[in-house]
Structure 1
Amino acid sequence: MLKKTLFALAAGLLFAFGLVLSGMTQPAKVVGFLHLAGLSQGISWHAAPGFWDPSLALVMGGALMVTLIAFAVTPQKAKPWADDKFHLPTRQDIDGKLLTGAALFGIGWGLAGYCPGPGFAALLSGGLDAAAFVVALLVGMWGAKRWLV
């Protein structure tokens, strides 16, 4: 149990560090990336208002490359390093609840400039916007479990 907890803590800290380093905890940078209409104004690598900021595409591309390399060099294992078995979803259908949740996630990310990981990582900076986002996220999760699941 301790190995699993320490592994989860180390992975979470590494993930949070990557989010902060890449700028994903800065809502203006995220909104600048999602603001595709800003392409008509030009490209800005510094989250200038009204311009499209493509820098997060490089972050996503870098993460994809690391993942592809990890899958290629890691042999197929019977179990993960820090658990007794893999926990994979069994459902493969796409239903209205999934589509509604995905749409709400995207709308919330676009409006707030946070998704759950960066929202929690941004709490470390003490910003009220991150705290408000996390509270809204938790209320939304509670509501979804109560009325939708």
Structure 2
Amino acid sequence: MRNFLGFAAGLVFGIGLIISGMTDPAKVLNFLDILGPWDPSLAFVMGGASVTAFIGYRLIWRRERPVMGSQFDLPDSTAIDAPLLTGAAIFGMGWGLGGFCPGPAWTSLLIGSSGILIFLPAMLVGIVLAGFAKSSSSFASKGA
């Protein structure tokens, strides 16, 4: 049942990405280019997502535990530190240069968007390199 619900949620998410235009890198880049041919339509997508998340979290936090789990999986740290800011900056640069972020990138692979065959492998290499960097830095800090 858990796998089915995960699949259903992913399917709804992917369909939403396609309908909203998030899988079209030109639309995303036009949203990010406020000094050029700016397209504000994705602001409505983000606004709708923010309202949905706000309401959803208010409903979920009333529960003692998730429907399909024994406990909520929350991050241990809420610190805004250098690794967080560096990761956010790299993510933003990748989004701005490629016009994709991870969810729309995978969805675009299925619909054959141009440039995805370059972006997706580069994204995966970046994820692997970030994992190595994180594990080597935590290893170095434990050894010191």
Match runs of 1:1-149 below 5 Å: 3-38=1-36, 51-74=37-60, 76-149=62-135
Structure 1 Cα separation of the partners of residues 87 and 59 of structure 2: 34
TM-score, with length taken from structure 1: 0.83
- Structure 1 residue 62, shift from structure 2 partner: 1.4
Letter of the structure 1 residue corresponding to residue 40 of structure 2:
P
Residue 74 of structure 1 deviates from its aligned partner by 5.0
Moved over 6 A (4+): none
* Unmatched tracts of structure 1, length 5 or more: 39-50
**CA-CA distance at 1:37 after TM superposition:** 1.2
TM-score (norm 2): 0.86
Is the contact between residue 23 and residue 113 of structure 2 (CA under 8 Å) also seen in structure 1?
A: no
SS in 2 for 1:56: helix
* SS of match in other structure, 2:64: coil
Structure 2: gaps of 5 or more residues? 136-144
Determine the structure 1 residue equivalent to 2:138.
none
1:65-86 CA-partner distances (Å, limit 9, x unpaired): 2223334455611111222211
> How many residue pairs end up in the alignment?
135
> For the structure 1 residues 92 and 55, does the alpha-carbon distance in structure 2 shift closer, same or farther, using more than 3 Å as the test?
same
Separation in 1, partners of 2:19, 2:98:
19
Q: 1:96 to 1:24 in 2, by over 3 A?
A: same
Give the superposed CA RMSD: 1.6
User: How far is the alpha carbon of 1:109 from its aligned partner?
Assistant: 0.2
